[in-house]
A = this chain, B = another copy of it.
Amino acid sequence: MNGPGTDPRAVPEGCTRVRLDLAYDGTGFSGWARQPGRSTVQQRVEDALSDICGCPIAVHCAGRTDAGVHARGQVAHADLPDTALQRRTWHGLTAQLNQSLGPQIRCRRIEPAPEHFDARFAAKSRHYVYRICDDPPNYDPLTREWVHFHPRVLDVSTMAAAAGSLVGEHDFAAFCRAREGATTIRRLDYATVCRTSSDLLEVALGADAFCHSMVRSVVGALVAVGEGRREPSWVAEILAGRQRDSAAGVMPALGLVLERIEYPPDDGLAARVRESRQMRKLKSNLD
C-alpha cells in the first residue's frame, strides 16, 4: 500500500493513529518485542487489539524493554481502522482492551494521536529507574518482583559521583551489548542515585535513547563503586575506554522500570521524527 518514497510509518487510509499509554509487570514476559514461541508484551497488546478490531494490528513502542523489565510509562502507537473505532467510545475501547490484556498489562489510556506522532521516532527522551534494596533484613516479599535485593550496603555518595561523570553525549560502548554496524553514541541527560528510604536506593537515568542493556550495565558499574570495589573515577575510565569491563556486571532485569517517555509539543513532532530518522540512519539502532 505504501509506494516508493512514501513514509513507511504513515497512517493508512481509513485508519486513525492512537497513542497507548501502557504499564506492565514484565516478570512473565520475554520483553516487549514479539518473538516466535514466546510470551511478549507486544504480542499480547497486538493480539488483543487485533481481536477487538477484527484485523491484524501492529503496535510500535517507544522503548523496547528486555525480558523481565517492567514499565509504568511505556508509550506505543497503532493505526486502528475507523470502522472499529466508530462503534466504540475511547473509554469503552480501553476497558475492552484491559479486559483482554489481563492483570499483568494495563492500558492506562488510548487517545487519538496528534499529527506526525510516532511512539518511537517522535520520543524526545526515555526515563528509567533501577531500584535496589541493600539491607538484607528489610527484604520485602511484596516488592520482590521489581526491587533488586543486594546483600551488602551500598555507598550512595560514591555511586552518585560516579553516575554524574556519565552525563553528556558519549560513546557508551563500554555499557552496551555490541551490535554489528550500530553506533553506541547516546546523550545521557541525567544519572542520579538517591536513597529514598533507609533501605531503598533509586538509580534514575534519562537519555535521548539507550542502547541494549545500557541501563543495567551502568547500574552494575555503579554497584561496583557503591560496594567499594572500584573508585568513582573508574566509571568514567571505562566509559572512555569503550570496552566492557567484567567488574561492571549487568544487573538483573527485575529491578528496572521504564517510568516515562517524553515527547516534544505537538507542533514539534514532525521535526523530531525527521531528526530521529536521520540519527537512525547514522546510528541504526536508536531505541
Chain A residues with a Cβ under 8 A of chain B:
21, 23-25, 70, 72, 103-106, 108-109, 137-142, 144-146, 257
B residues less than 8 Å from A146 (CB atoms): 142
B residues less than 8 Å from A140 (CB atoms): 23, 72, 106
B residues less than 8 Å from A145 (CB atoms): 142
> Are the CB atoms of A103 and B72 closer together than 8 Å?
no
The A interface is mostly helix, strand or loop, or mixed, namely mixed
Complex: how many Å from CA A14 to CA B109?
63
Complex: how many Å from CA A152 to CA B257?
27
* Copies of this chain per assembly: 2
> Are the CB atoms of B138 and A108 closer together than 8 Å?
yes
Give A266 Cβ to nearest chain B Cβ, in Å. Answer: 21
Complex: how many Å from CA A282 to CA B107?
53
Give A207 Cβ to nearest chain B Cβ, in Å. Answer: 22
Contact of A105 among B70, B109, B141 (CB under 8 A): B141
Give A275 Cβ to nearest chain B Cβ, in Å. Answer: 30
Q: Which of A21, A138, A141 has the most CB of B within 10 A?
A: A141
Contact of A103 among B24, B109, B141 (CB under 8 A): B141
